[in-house]
Structure formats: C-alpha cells, structure tokens
Amino acid sequence: MLDFWYSERCTRQVKLIVSIMLCIVIFYCSNIEKLSPIFVGIGLVLGMALHVLYRAASQQTAQNPQKKWMKIAAVYLPIFIQITIIYWFLKQSNFVYLAIQALGFMMLGLVLISNYQNRSKRSD
C-alpha cells in the first residue's frame, strides 16, 4: 500500500479523498467513544515515524543487502507497536471504535507528513 501511496499513480485528488475519509471515520467513531489525547499523539507520531522509516528504507542503494529487511521493518514495526498499544492499553468497552480511531490517527499522521513533504513549492 505504501508503494502505491508514494508512487506517481496516487494523485493529489486520491490523497485528498483519503484524508477526508479518514477524518470522517475518526469523527464518527469519536462521537461514540472518545480516544484519550495521549493515544492520539502516539498514533500521529507513529504515522510520522512510518513515513520517515519508509523514506529512509526506500533511499537505500540496491546493493545494500539489508534493504529488504529495513523496508519490512519500516512498514511493520510502527504497525506492530500500534496494535500492541491498542491491545494492552485501551479499555474494553467500545474497543472497536477506539481501535479504529487509533489506527486512523496513525494513518492521518502518515498522510499529513507525506503530503507536506510533497507539496508544491510557492513561486516568489
């Protein structure tokens, strides 16, 4: 999925639609059960870390033997951390809505930082 997100095939319109849909889903779930601000911050930071790790892994040279493992770790490590946090620290009532919000904020952190890095430069 990240390969598509960072490719030329994923247009600005697709990224905008994904951002809007993420916000709608997070808003809907927060009307049912509110996620703690600590978990919101953790989700955003993990999404930003996912972006940074993925970009670092994709800029490795092809001759580097650890490129494959670094790319796998860059994608799965933040997701594994997020799932662990969801499983161990979120309360059990309305668990699904809290988990959706936590994963949504992680994806929103990824979307925001990747869109900011690839924005069009202003001309003076």
pLDDT of the residue at 26 = 94
Say whether pLDDT at 17 is over 70.
Answer: yes
pLDDT of the residue at 105 = 92
**CA dist., res. 95 & res. 100, Å (int):** 9
**CA dist., res. 33 & res. 38, Å (int):** 15
Mean pLDDT of 43-66: 80
**CA dist., res. 98 & res. 112, Å (int):** 21
Say whether pLDDT at 11 is over 70.
Answer: yes
**Sequence spans of domains, the chain:** 2-116
**CA dist., res. 16 & res. 21, Å (int):** 9
pLDDT of the residue at 20 = 93
Say whether pLDDT at 119 is over 80.
Answer: no
